[in-house]
Amino acid sequence: MSLTYNYQDIQTICTGATVLASGGGGSYQVGTSIVDKGVSQSAEFTVLAMDEVSPTDWYCVSCDIGEPSQLIGHPHIHAPGNALAALEENMKTTTFSGLLPVEIGAVSSVIPFVVAGQRSLPVVDADGAGRAVPTLPLLTFGGYGLPISPSCLASNGNPQYVDQYFPDLPLSEAEAAFVKVFMPAPYDGIAGLACWPLQGSSLQTAGGLPVAVGGTYADCHAVGGIFAAGGDVVQNIVDYLNCSAGRFCLPIFQGNVTAMTQGTGPQDLGTITITNGEEATLTISYQNENMLAYLSSYSTTEPYIMGPDSICYVPSGSTVFDNSDLYVLVTNGEQPAVTVLGIDPSPVVSQSATLMAQWQGALANIAYDGPYCQPWKSNSK
């Protein structure tokens, strides 16, 4: 059943998406700024369930791509819409009937609404991961064999913009090709991206499974509402995810963020240290998004939780944050209190051998080359 969301609903989604994004998906501060500048307060949006998309109509993933730090203070309102327009111009015979978010996140989840408002299009209640991810091969669209191209990058100029069209780009080469384009001027580290053009029939099934994780806008809206309502926020979010969203969830650690490192470049790489009053620590390794974490009371050599499981923050304060927001807080001397949630991956992810292999490779790149396991599910206190 389709949903109807307004401006305030999109702000609520931005909050919930920040919680569920596993530390990535874009800055909450940037996401709210994009909504303020790019979404009309009188707008209403139709959000389609996956079984409501037309099998013969064309849909497209709409997002920003680039350095998360570059968006802080410079929200890109026009780049994703420019990319969609350029993709249609280059494909010539295709007009898109709806948009999908690339992943969950404060920026990633709201971008399709900005473009939908510019183009009077519906948005589909599904994304490519059920969390945020650092690389394109970790998305379900590619994991189920759908080509990323034709695809198009565009700059943020309004009305003039620069675009780069990729008519036949293999997914294995896409990341490097995109980075080569968006790092120099006129993009300067951020571009709008329109990619994975697909018909509704391809979105709805591949090998008997959906190609995207369904219901994630509804989940973000619900979690955002729970956070805003106050009370026992952590327990209410856990109850919602377990009972309504069908994603097994547990609180796995509670403490204060006492240290954080961060590199720069197309991927923000670093570690986050969370310490509780008993001097136990949870040390998170992230690559934009939280990828794995070690719990000192469990093991210093074996991860306690790892992707594709989500490693999410529920702050005890009044504002949510992603890792780029968190880095600003820690750099300013703050030690925010958080509860860390572990959340099972969607079956759309865990039942794909291709995606699970891609996750193993991504984890090996940050120094864990062992098997996927979930000790947090049996050892959490």
What are the residue ranges spanned by the domains of the chain?
Answer: 3-214, 248-379
Q: What is the CATH topology of the domain spanning 248-379?
A: CV3147-like (2.40.390)
Percent of the chain's residues with pLDDT above 70: 96
Please give the radius of gyration of the chain, using alpha carbons only, rounded to the nearest integer: 19
Per-residue pLDDT for 191 more than 50? yes
Contact 298, 378 (CB under 8 A): no
| Token pair for 78 | 């026009």
For residues 70-84, give the mean pLDDT.
Answer: 85
pLDDT of 170 above 80: yes
| Best CA proximity match to 116, nearest among 126, 106, 101 | 101
> pLDDT at residue 166 above 80?
yes
- 124 near 98, Cβ under 8 Å? yes
Question: Is 262 strand, coil or helix?
Answer: coil
What per-residue confidence (pLDDT) applies to 73? 65
E strand spans, 36-150: 44-48, 58-66, 96-100, 123-124, 126-127
Residue with tokens 């995810």: 241
Tell me phi and psi for residue 41, to 5 degrees.
Answer: -70, -10
d(CA 184, CA 369): 34
The SS3 assignment for 11 reads: helix
Average pLDDT, whole number, for the chain? 93
How many other C-beta atoms can be found within 10 angstroms of the C-beta atom of residue 10?
27
Q: What is the mean pLDDT of residues 100-120?
A: 97
Which residues make beta-bridge pairs with 219? none
What are the phi and psi torsion angles at 113 (to 5°)?
Answer: -70, -35
Homologous superfamily of the 3-214 domain (CATH): CV3147-like domain (3.40.1610.10)
Residues 6+ apart with CB under 8 A from 206: 144, 145, 146
Q: Is 35 exposed, middle or buried (0-12, 13-18, 19+ CB in 10 A)?
A: buried
Distances (CA, A) of 279 to 181, 185, 254, 275, 284: 46, 47, 11, 6, 16
For residue 231, what are its two tokens? 């009370």
Say whether 108 sits in a helix, a strand or coil.
Answer: helix
Q: What's residue 286's pLDDT?
A: 95
pLDDT of 35 above 60: yes
pLDDT of residue 152 exceeding 90: yes
Preceding omega of 308 cis (within 30 degrees of 0): yes
pLDDT at 380 over 70: no
Percentage of the chain surpassing pLDDT 90? 85
Q: Which of 97, 109, 81, 87 is nearest to 25 (CA)?
A: 109
379 falls in which pLDDT band (50, 70, 90)?
low
- Average of per-residue pLDDT across 194-203: 94
Q: What is the pLDDT of residue 278?
A: 74
Give the pTM.
0.95
Q: Which run of H or E residues covers position 7?
A: helix 7-20
